Amino acid sequence: MAKERIVVIGGDAAGMSAASKIRRVEPNRDILVLERTDYTSYSACGMPYYIGGMIDEVDSLIARSPEVFRDKFAIDVRTRHEVVAIDPNIQRVTILNDQQKAVSEPYDQLLIATGARPYCPDLPGGGVEGVFGLSTLASGIRVQKFIKQEQPLKAVVVGGGYIGLEMAEALVRQNIEVSLVQRGHEVMDTLDPDMGELVSQALRDIGVKLYLSEELKAFESTNGRVKAIITDQRTLPSDLVILGMGVRPNSELAEAAGIELGVYNAIKVDERMRTGTENIWAAGDCVATVHRVTGQPFYVALGTVANKQGLVAGTNLSGGSMTFPGVVGTAVSKICKVEVARTGLQEKELLELDFDYAAETIKTKTRAGYYPGAGTITVKMTAEKGSGRLLGAQIVGMEGAAKRIDIVATAVTAGMTVANLVDLDLSYAPPFSPVWDPVQTAARQLLKKL
């Protein structure tokens, strides 16, 4: 096993977590990483803060450069190398190398960690300059350069998910007039609309013009550069368009090689991150996982998940044993001063799955009311009637609000009831929370409805 050659496709969170783990365990293992951009181990999550000018140097978003991997970790990282085909029968990958030449490399074990890409609908007038989606660091650098060189005055963000919202804030910070078009009734449709409404308001408060229940239909351009977007209700002038309409897994390479796909066209893997094809593994945004509340296949594209799955793949590829048990749908974000978090199932999902559930929403303070900096926090919590099992929570509030979701995420993962949550011995001092932590206040109120 130790002499087997490992080839990794994709040099970011999942791919490099795996490669680094293998190197730590097996100093002599032959590891080849193929990455089509110039960068490895970068924080895509940090891009909105770089574009917004809160972080000056793009280098601070790079945890480890290709040179560091080569020189310090003896990992053969080849940037500007794009894998264009996998042949599982002869265990080789075909690569378009940095000279644009097709070459082929053998593997004993292959890890696919190709990530995801922003969804870009095929609409009239598309494919013009000034329209960007964000995924890799290279894509973030392109946006930053465009803003610096072209100094756009008006931007439209299409899509009200967390990437769209973080980008809307970033553009406001660059003094650009920002409009946001969102198909749903409120932004953040991973929240229930009553909670999403609070986030919509937070965006209006920083000057973002919201066009809700509206859909992108076409782009208008002059000399190949975007000048406006057309929705089903109006034309919005725009020198810059950011697409935040969700992502699609980069699974085409796997599909073409006959590797089985699962939900959302993401690569199907088992708990150890093995695909259905011999000696081929996959991890990160390109794979499907399992939702631990429903037990159903699920797709999520998050850095936390990608890093863990990379570690699991790397552990199993270096003789160890580790599994990835799935997710409970936990996510967190911040739009200016407002923190947003969710875990478990939202009401729309509970209704679809025919759960008999109760929901409760409370509003309280993040700290003792008299303590400086106490801000509002709204917690919505759901649980199954009868059993009392916690099913999810959503939090919107000021500083200190969002990370409280981790208490609920832990409780949901453990299959705890609302009563169990009320019984938890959580910490208290005035600078941190009211005597009853807001999640326990929500749980106490919800208990009355079960």
Residues in CB range of 419: below 8 A, 6 or more apart: 388, 443, 447
**Sole binder of ligand FAD in the list 6, 7, 8, 15 (CB under 6 A):** 15
Nearest to 275 by CA among 83, 110, 117, 90: 110
Residues 295-324 that bind ligand FAD (CB under 6 A): 301-304, 306
Contact call for residue 12 and ligand FAD (CB under 6 A): yes
- Residue 44 or 178: the one with the smaller Cβ distance to ligand FAD is 44
Number of H helices, E strands in the chain: 12, 25
Minimum Å gap between C-beta 19 and ligand FAD is: 11
Residues 238-267 that bind ligand FAD (CB under 6 A): 250, 253
Contact call for residue 392 and ligand FAD (CB under 6 A): no
* Site of tokens 């937070």: 202
Residues 398-427 that bind ligand FAD (CB under 6 A): none
Assign 3-state DSSP to the chain and report helix, strand, coil percentages, each to 5: 30, 30, 40
Contact string 146-185 vs ligand FAD (x = CB under 6 A)? -----------------x----------------------
CA distance 118 to 33: 23
**Sole binder of ligand FAD in the list 6, 7, 8, 11 (CB under 6 A):** 11
**Active-site position among 45, 120, 286, 336:** 45
Nearest to 35 by CA among 64, 14, 70, 10: 10
Decide: 382 and 391 in contact? Cβ < 8 Å: yes
Q: Which two structure tokens, joined as six digits, stand for 243? A: 């697409």
Minimum Å gap between C-beta 445 and ligand FAD is: 30
Minimum Å gap between C-beta 293 and ligand FAD is: 19
Sheet holding 102-106, edge to edge: 82-87, 92-96, 102-106
**Sole binder of ligand FAD in the list 52, 66, 115, 262 (CB under 6 A):** 115
Contact string 54-93 vs ligand FAD (x = CB under 6 A)? ----------------------------xx----------
Q: Which strand (E) or helix (H) includes residue 138?
A: helix 137-150
Q: Is 45 a catalytic residue?
A: yes
Helix (H), strand (E), coil (C) string for 154-181: EEEEECCCHHHHHHHHHHHHCCCEEEEE
Residues 133-152 that bind ligand FAD (CB under 6 A): 134-136
Query: What does DSSP say about strands 235-237 and 225-231: parallel, antiparallel, or unpaired?
Result: antiparallel
Looking at 33-41, 123-131, 210-218, 439-447, which segment touches ligand FAD (CB under 6 A)?
33-41
Where does this chain bind ligand FAD (CB under 6 A)? 9-15, 34-37, 44-45, 47-48, 82-83, 113-116, 134-136, 163, 250, 253, 284-285, 301-304, 306
Looking at the annotation, which residues are catalytic? Answer: 45
